[in-house]
Amino acid sequence: MVWYDRVILKFDGASRHNPHGPAGCGWVLIEMDEFGAEEYCNIATGNKYLGYNVSNNQAEYQGLINGLQYIQDYISCNKVYVRGDSEIIINQMLGDYKVNSRNIRPYFNEAKEIESQLQYEGMEIYYRHISRAKNWEADELANRAIDD
């Protein structure tokens, strides 16, 4: 495993003709410098085509899950700063919004399970909503998954 002090995980999902798809997700893992700034030293990126009948929120969660899973499998660090442009997903992960949709509940549960495992390993995880403009790389990866 590669060790970093702090990393930023940006995630996104896309569903064209929401919720009918096609859909895809993407994520970017970035090293944070000692001053708290993004170095734009990408550690890793990923995307995945999710098929049809996948909603935008499901695709967003899948991007988050895939990024967290990558961290769990390959990265050791002190702090993970999760950034996404979906206000709903960020606030659900923070516990500020309830997860009412039974279609979303399995995605939420899986993300929280990985989060718990990372915290058990000693990682601190922080969530923050960002603008779509600041999430352009993850958005591009999600859309590329659909187009490719």
Closest by CA position to 123, among listed 1, 2, 5: 5
Structure confidence at residue 40 as a pLDDT band (50, 70, 90): low
Q: What is the rounded distance in angstroms from the CA atom of residue 122 to the CA atom of residue 146?
A: 35
Q: DSSP assignment, residue 19?
A: T
What is the per-residue pLDDT across 94-105, written as a single tens digit (0 to 9) for each? 999 999 999 999
Q: Read off the DSSP letter of residue 97.
A: S
Q: CA-to-CA distance for 146 and 43, rounded, in angstroms?
A: 23
How many other C-beta atoms are found inside a 10 Å radius of the C-beta of residue 13? Answer: 32
Residue 33: band (very low, low, confident or very high) from pLDDT cuts 50, 70, 90: confident
pTM above 0.75, yes or no: yes
CA distance 61 to 88: 10
Residue 4 has pLDDT above 70, yes or no: yes
More confident position, 37 or 116:
116
Percent of the chain whose predicted confidence (pLDDT) is above 90: 91
